[in-house]
Amino acid sequence: MSSEEDKITRISIEPEKQSLLDHHTEKHFTAGEIVRDIIIGVSDGLTVPFALAAGLSGANASSSIVLTAGIAEVAAGAISMGLGGYLAAKSEADHYAREMKREQEEIVAVPETEAAEVAEILAQYGIEPHEYSPVVNALRKNPQAWLDFMMRFELGLEKPDPKRALQSAFTIAIAYVLGGFVPLFPYMFIPQALDAVVASVVITLLALFIFGYGKGHFTGSKPFRSAFETAFIGAIASAAAFCLAKVVQH
Amino acid sequence: MSSEEDKITRISIEPEKQSLLDHHTEKHFTAGEIVRDIIIGVSDGLTVPFALAAGLSGANASSSIVLTAGIAEVAAGAISMGLGGYLAAKSEADHYAREMKREQEEIVAVPETEAAEVAEILAQYGIEPHEYSPVVNALRKNPQAWLDFMMRFELGLEKPDPKRALQSAFTIAIAYVLGGFVPLFPYMFIPQALDAVVASVVITLLALFIFGYGKGHFTGSKPFRSAFETAFIGAIASAAAFCLAKVVQH
Domain housing A105 = 35-249
The pLDDT tens digits of the residues spanning B190-199 come to 999 999 999 9
Residue A37: its pLDDT value, please?
86
Q: Which of residues 97-116 of B touch A (CB under 8 A)?
A: 98-99, 102, 106, 110, 112-113, 115-116
Residue B9's CB: how many other CB atoms inside 10 A? Answer: 8
**In this prediction, what percent of chain B has a pLDDT beyond 90?**
46
Q: Do B17 and A77 touch (CB under 8 A)?
A: no
- DSSP conformation letters of A149-216: HIIIIIS--PPPPHHHHHHHHHHHHHHHHHHHHHHHGGGGT-SSHHHHHHHHHHHHHHHHHHHHHHHH
Q: Which residues of B touch A200 (CB under 8 A)?
A: none
How many Cβ pairs within 8 Å bridge chains A and B?
319
Residue A165 touches partner B, C-beta closer than 8 Å: no
* Average pLDDT of span A189-202: 94
How far apart (Å, rounded) are the C-alpha atoms in residues B212 and B224?
8
SS3 B13: coil
Residue A43 touches partner B, C-beta closer than 8 Å: yes
Q: Which residues contact A166 (CB under 8 A, 6 or more apart)?
A: A86
Residue A16's CB: how many other CB atoms inside 10 A? Answer: 9
Q: Do B17 and A65 touch (CB under 8 A)?
A: no
The pLDDT tens digits of the residues spanning A208-225 come to 999 999 988 887 788 999
* Average pLDDT of span B222-235: 93
Return the closest-CA partner of residue A193 out of A62, A5, A26.
A62
SS3 A82: helix
B63-109 and B111-123 helices cross at what angle (nearest 10)? 120
Q: Do B52 and A76 touch (CB under 8 A)?
A: yes
Residue A94: its pLDDT value, please?
84
How far apart (Å, rounded) are the C-alpha atoms in residues B133 and B203?
63
Residue A78 lies in a domain: yes
How far apart (Å, rounded) are the C-alpha atoms in residues A173 and A177?
6
Q: How far apart are the first and last CA of chain A?
A: 58
- DSSP conformation letters of A102-159: HHHHHHHH-HHHHHHHHHHHHHTTT--HHHHHHHHHHHHT-HHHHHHHIIIIIS--PP
Question: Which position has the higher pLDDT, B20 or A97?
Answer: A97
SS3 B31: coil
Which chain A residue has the Cα nearest residue B30?
A155
Which chain A residue has the Cα nearest residue B49?
A73
SS3 B109: helix
Q: Do B131 and A134 touch (CB under 8 A)?
A: yes
Residue A121: its pLDDT value, please?
86
The pLDDT tens digits of the residues spanning B94-119 come to 888 888 999 899 988 988 888 888 88
Q: How many domains does chain A have?
A: 1
Q: Does residue A28 have a pLDDT over 60? A: no
**Which of A106, A112, A127, A208 to probe the B interface (max B CBs under 10 A)?**
A127
- Arithmetic mean of pLDDT over chain B: 84
SS3 B110: coil
Residue A26 touches partner B, C-beta closer than 8 Å: yes
Q: Does residue B8 have a pLDDT over 50? A: no
Q: Does residue A30 have a pLDDT over 80? A: no
CA distances from B162 to B79, B80, B93 (A): 20, 20, 8
**Which of B12, B36, B50, B52 to probe the A interface (max A CBs under 10 A)?**
B52
Q: Do A51 and B76 touch (CB under 8 A)?
A: yes
Residue B99 lies in a domain: yes
Q: Burial letters for A91-121: b for 16+ Cβ neighbours within 10 Å, e otherwise?
A: bbbbbbeebbebbbebbeeeeebbbbbbbbb
Return the closest-CA partner of residue A122 out of B33, B211, B142, B79.
B142
Q: What is the ipTM of this complex?
A: 0.79
Residue A14's pLDDT band (cuts 50, 70, 90): low
Q: Do A55 and B68 touch (CB under 8 A)?
A: yes
State the DSSP H helix or E strand holding residue B95, giving kind and residue range, or none if neither. Answer: helix B63-109
Q: Do B116 and A61 touch (CB under 8 A)?
A: no
Which chain B residue has the Cα nearest residue A221?
B91
Side-chain half-sphere exposure of B174, counting CA atoms within 13 A: 10
Least confident segment among A65-74, B4-13, B67-76, B203-212: B4-13
Q: Go through chain A and tell me how many residues it has.
A: 250
CA distance B188 to chain A (A): 10
Residue B7 lies in a domain: no
Q: Do A138 and B158 touch (CB under 8 A)?
A: no
Residue B60 touches partner A, C-beta closer than 8 Å: no
Q: Does residue A13 have a pLDDT over 50? A: no
Return the closest-CA partner of residue A42 out of A182, A217, A187, A239.
A182
Residue B1 lies in a domain: no
What is the residue type of B193? A
| A89 contacts A164 by C-beta, under 8 angstroms | yes
Residue B13 lies in a domain: no
Q: Which residues of A touch B24 (CB under 8 A)?
A: 110, 113
- Facing A129 at nearest CB: one of B13, B65, B115: B13
Query: In this structure, what DSSP letter does residue A59 have?
Result: T
Q: Do B245 and A68 touch (CB under 8 A)?
A: yes
Return the closest-CA partner of residue A119 out of A128, A108, A106, A109.
A128
Residue A135 lies in a domain: yes
Residue B204 lies in a domain: yes
The pLDDT tens digits of the residues spanning A102-134 come to 989 998 898 888 888 888 888 888 888 888 888
Q: Which of residues 203-232 of A touch B (CB under 8 A)?
A: 219-221, 226, 229
Phi, psi of B67 (to 5 degrees): -65, -40
Largest interatomic CA distance in chain B: 79
Residue A183 touches partner B, C-beta closer than 8 Å: no
Q: Does residue B175 have a pLDDT over 70? A: yes
Q: Do B138 and A123 touch (CB under 8 A)?
A: no
**Which of A2, A9, A21, A52 to probe the B interface (max B CBs under 10 A)?**
A52
* Average pLDDT of span B151-162: 81
A111-123 and B15-23 helices cross at what angle (nearest 10)? 110
Q: Do A5 and B124 touch (CB under 8 A)?
A: yes
Residue A138 lies in a domain: yes
| B183 contacts B50 by C-beta, under 8 angstroms | yes
How far apart (Å, rounded) are the C-alpha atoms in residues A69 and A51?
11
Largest interatomic CA distance in chain A: 79
| B106 contacts B127 by C-beta, under 8 angstroms | no
- Facing B135 at nearest CB: one of A113, A131, A221: A131
Instruction: Give percent helix, percent strand, percent coil of chain A, each to the nearest 5.
Output: 80, 0, 20
Geometric angle at alpha carbon A230, from B162 and A181, rounded to 5°: 135
